[in-house]
């Protein structure tokens, strides 16, 4: 008989707490969700998913506010063997339509506030069921749940079976669904739990990240569940709420913007951090200046790690060894990383090239895009990250740039191609180039450089207004500049580096 490798078993079922009353998620104004409630509540939600016709391998697309119930839904999907697909709550209906068409889910769970439009869209796209969920746990998903039985089953899954698909925008403009298996997620979680020396039953995680990305959903919550930690589960980042909860916490995971904002808060100081064991940063580069200021103020050296949707966490500064600002540390145990030229030939130590990665953390490919998948893997199985890196003699890695055309603002990835495609459709536009500009709070901000076709005179609003209907607000350019022509090289390729230099 095959062994059941369902991730749910490792996160919840096979990991009984020595303290049955132990709190899992704690949100101000709500009763805490306890570890001992997880099996029964996810069992009921599992029954609900079965009622909705969900079978192993079916997709469940979820675009909801952060809540206990959203986490329970994720765990219930694992349990049912369904593939969980969370979407950024900022996505417009236009963007959601693409994901529903691509993923063809059995169920779409939307925010209760968008129920009418979401239901209409899902019906048009022939999604069999649409349910709603609100931030405080109301909505049709949970109706009648009390009367359902706790289904004790945990669907049989092999480690290579899919647990989740996370969409990551593509350099070609089309979002690609990164397929992550039960084994990918479990191996990465176990590695991090050990590498960051999680204090089982004792650590308290301060969680203010969104739960539709690997950072907030997998890295943070999986470590907490493996370590049976209590989690201060805040709806969003807000420096004052963090400062209030820090004295009762021991670990914070955040994007660099969390740390720059904390440093700006007047009442953030050393005593606030005295119970903290570990501050972790990732998803975007942490400036050495932020690292050093934080250390001087609090006495804590932020531990920077590096990862991506397709691979989970790849490298980390050491827990015990030296945490060096501006570096992302070493390849994690079980992960192999090499710096290569554009043909995949490994470069000498110290040279700059593209980072390639191999290991049980690396995803299974892009959903229904075999050609795109093949393009991004080497024949020997290494995944080409698109990040430019150097590795020193000791194996320590620094991310020095990106070969992929990508902007990262506040830890959200923004692909210029997607915005350029929408701008180019606007009447009066000949062509456009979208670039990132350094931004003190978010790391980078979006600038659109637009060439008009002369048929009419355009102003900034003529560009922004049509984009608002199509794209999530965080992708909208903060600045639109009109130019006579875009700089190009002899091959005719737009010279974005030159534009970045001009507008920085
Ligand atoms: C919000 N806005 C952003 C933005 N977040 N704009 C650009 N980039 C962002 N990241 C815009 C909103 O659209 C809104 O615009 C205005 O800013 C205020 O919105 P807000 O919701 O009040 O913003 P705020 O709460 O301040 O959010 C900023 C933030 C948040 C940095 C705290 O974005 C955040 O939590 N980021 C974390 C993202 C994350 O988890 N990334 C991990 C990806 S996984 P308007 O026009 O409406 O006023 C990954 C792999 C790895 O990368 O290695 O981890
Ligand atoms: P995503 O596709 O949203 O998972 O974003 C992954 C990308 O974020 C990586 O490919 C990197 O470009 C970037 N990233 C993540 N962590 C770091 C880091 N510590 N330093 C620099 N870039 C990072």
What is the pLDDT at residue 167? Answer: 96
Ligand 1 pocket, 478 CB below 6 A?
Answer: no
What is the pLDDT at residue 173? Answer: 64
Cα pseudo-dihedral 359, 312, 332, 13, rounded to 10:
-90
CA of 199 to the centre of ligand 2 (A): 27
Ligand number nearest to the C-alpha of 399:
2
Nearest-5° Cα angle at 207, 203 to 211: 130
Q: What is the C-alpha separation between 132 and 142, in angstroms, rounded?
A: 8
Q: What is the C-alpha separation between 327 and 332, in angstroms, rounded?
A: 14
The strand order across the sheet containing 429-439 reads 429-439, 443-452, 479-483
Mean pLDDT by 10 residues, the chain (504 residues): 93 78 95 95 97 98 98 98 98 96 98 96 98 94 92 96 92 84 98 97 97 98 97 98 98 98 97 97 96 98 98 98 96 98 96 97 98 96 96 97 90 93 95 95 96 95 95 96 92 89 91
Residue 353's Cβ-side half-sphere holds a number of Cα atoms within 13 Å equal to 21
Helices (H) and strands (E) in the chain, counts: 14, 24
Query: Measuring from atom 21 of ligand 2, which residue has the nearest CA?
Result: 285
What are the E-state strand segments in 1-146? 23-26, 33-34, 59-63, 83-86, 107-111, 129-133
- Counting every residue written for the chain, the total comes to 504
Pull the structure tokens for residue 426. 């606007």
Q: What is the C-alpha separation between 188 and 362, in angstroms, rounded?
A: 9
In terms of Cα–Cα distance, which of 326, 27, 75 is closest to 206?
27
Q: What is the C-alpha separation between 330 and 131, in angstroms, rounded?
A: 43
Radius of gyration of the chain, Cα coordinates, nearest whole angstrom = 23
Pocket perturbation via mutation, ligand 2, pick of 212, 217, 307 by most ligand atoms within 8 A of CB = 307
What is the pLDDT at residue 485? Answer: 95
Evaluate whether 7-187 and 406-503 have a shared fold: no
In terms of Cα–Cα distance, which of 73, 75, 25, 86 is closest to 213?
86
- Are 32 and 71 spatial neighbours (Cβ–Cβ below 8 Å)? no
**Residues in CB range of 307: below 8 A, 6 or more apart:** 214, 215, 219, 282, 283, 313, 314, 315
Query: Measuring from atom 1 of ligand 1, which residue has the nearest CA?
Result: 474
Q: What CATH number does domain 7-187 carry, 3.50.50.60, 3.40.50.12780, 3.40.190.170, 3.40.50.300?
A: 3.40.50.12780
Q: What is the C-alpha separation between 236 and 488, in angstroms, rounded?
A: 42
What is the pLDDT at residue 403? Answer: 86
Ligand number nearest to the C-alpha of 220:
1
Pull the structure tokens for residue 412. 């959200």
Alpha helices for 227-313 (secondary structure H)? 239-245, 256-264, 288-298
Q: What is the C-alpha separation between 433 and 420, in angstroms, rounded?
A: 6
Query: Measuring from atom 52 of ligand 1, which residue has the nearest CA?
Result: 283
How buried is 149 (Cβ within 10 angstroms: 0-12 exposed, 13-18 middle, 19+ buried)? Answer: exposed
Ligand 1 pocket, 34 CB below 6 A?
Answer: no
Please report where in the chains the tokens 């904002």 appear, as a residue.
261
Neighbours of 265 (CB within 10 A): 13
CATH domain 237-402 topology: Rossmann fold (3.40.50)
**Residues in CB range of 14: below 8 A, 6 or more apart:** none
Shortest-distance atom of ligand 1 to CA 441: 31
- Are 165 and 178 spatial neighbours (Cβ–Cβ below 8 Å)? yes
Paired with 241 in beta bridges are none
**Residues in the ligand 2 pocket, defined by CB under 6 Å:** 168, 282-285, 304, 306-309, 328, 385, 387, 399, 402, 408, 413
Domain ranges of the chain: 7-187, 237-402, 406-503
Q: What is the C-alpha separation between 357 and 229, in angstroms, rounded?
A: 30
Ligand 1 pocket, 259 CB below 6 A?
Answer: no
Ligand 1 pocket, 209 CB below 6 A?
Answer: yes
**Residues in CB range of 493: below 8 A, 6 or more apart:** none
- Are 17 and 35 spatial neighbours (Cβ–Cβ below 8 Å)? yes
What CATH code would you report for 406-503?
3.30.300.30
- Are 291 and 304 spatial neighbours (Cβ–Cβ below 8 Å)? yes
Q: What is the C-alpha separation between 92 and 77, in angstroms, rounded?
A: 24
Ligand 1 pocket, 361 CB below 6 A?
Answer: no
Pull the structure tokens for residue 100. 């529903």
Q: What is the C-alpha separation between 419 and 450, in angstroms, rounded?
A: 12
Pull the structure tokens for residue 257. 């913007």
Distances, alpha carbon 205 to alpha carbons 70, 73, 107, 224, 304, in Å: 18, 21, 31, 7, 17
The strand order across the sheet containing 162-168 reads 129-133, 107-111, 59-63, 83-86, 162-168, 176-181
> Would you give the DSSP letter of residue 140?
G
Ligand 1 pocket, 311 CB below 6 A?
Answer: no
Pocket perturbation via mutation, ligand 1, pick of 213, 474, 475, 476 by most ligand atoms within 8 A of CB = 474
**397-402/176-181 β-pairing:** unpaired
Paired with 181 in beta bridges are 162
């Amino acid at each position: 008989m095959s062994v059941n490798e369902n991730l749910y078993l490792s996160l919840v079922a096979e990991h009984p707490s020595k303290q049955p009353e132990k709190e899992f998620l704690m949100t101000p104004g709500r009763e805490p969700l306890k570890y001992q409630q997880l099996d029964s509540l996810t069992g009921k939600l599992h029954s609900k998913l079965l009622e909705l016709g969900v079978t192993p391998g079916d997709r469940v697309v979820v675009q909801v506010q952060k809540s206990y119930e959203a986490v329970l839904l994720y765990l219930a999907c694992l349990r049912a063997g369904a593939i969980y697909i969370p979407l950024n709550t900022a996505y417009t209906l236009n963007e959601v339509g693409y994901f529903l068409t691509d993923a063809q889910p059995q169920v779409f769970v939307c925010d209760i506030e968008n129920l009418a439009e979401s239901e209409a869209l899902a019906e048009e796209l022939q999604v069999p069921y649409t349910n709603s969920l609100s931030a405080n746990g109301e909505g049709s998903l949970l109706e009648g749940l009390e009367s359902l039985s706790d289904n004790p089953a945990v669907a049989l899954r092999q480690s290579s079976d899919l647990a989740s698909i996370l969409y990551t925008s593509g350099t070609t403009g089309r979002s690609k669904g990164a397929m992550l298996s039960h084994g990918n997620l479990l191996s990465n979680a176990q590695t991090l739990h050990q590498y960051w020396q999680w204090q089982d039953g004792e650590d308290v995680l301060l969680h203010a990240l969104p739960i539709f990305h690997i950072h907030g959903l997998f890295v943070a919550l999986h470590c907490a569940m493996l370590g049976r930690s209590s989690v201060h589960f805040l709806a969003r980042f807000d420096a004052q709420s963090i400062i209030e909860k820090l004295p009762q916490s021991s670990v914070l995971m955040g994007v660099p913007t969390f740390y720059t904002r904390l440093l700006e808060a007047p009442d953030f100081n050393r005593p606030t951090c005295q119970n903290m064991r570990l501050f972790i940063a990732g998803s975007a580069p942490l400036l050495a200046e932020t690292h050093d200021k934080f250390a001087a103020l609090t006495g804590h050296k932020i531990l920077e790690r590096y990862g991506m949707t397709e691979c989970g966490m790849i490298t980390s500064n050491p827990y015990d060894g030296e945490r060096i600002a501006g570096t992302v540390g070493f390849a994690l145990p079980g992960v192999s990383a090499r710096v290569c030229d554009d043909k995949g030939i490994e470069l000498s130590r110290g040279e700059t090239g593209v980072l390639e990665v191999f290991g049980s953390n690396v995803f299974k490919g892009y959903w229904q895009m075999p050609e795109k998948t093949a393009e991004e893997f080497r024949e020997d199985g290494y995944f080409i990250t698109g990040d430019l890196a150097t590795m020193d003699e000791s194996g320590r890695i620094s991310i020095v740039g990106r070969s992929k055309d990508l902007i990262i603002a506040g830890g959200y990835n923004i692909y210029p191609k997607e915005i350029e495609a929408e701008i180019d459709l606007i009447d009066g536009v000949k062509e456009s180039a979208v670039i990132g500009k350094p931004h003190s709070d978010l790391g980078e901000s979006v600038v659109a450089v637009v060439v008009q076709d002369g048929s009419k005179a355009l102003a900034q609003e003529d560009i922004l207004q049509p984009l608002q209907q199509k794209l999530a607000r965080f992708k909208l350019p903060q600045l639109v500049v009109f130019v006579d022509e875009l700089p190009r090289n002899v091959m005719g390729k737009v010279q974005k580096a030159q534009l970045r230099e001009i507008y920085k």
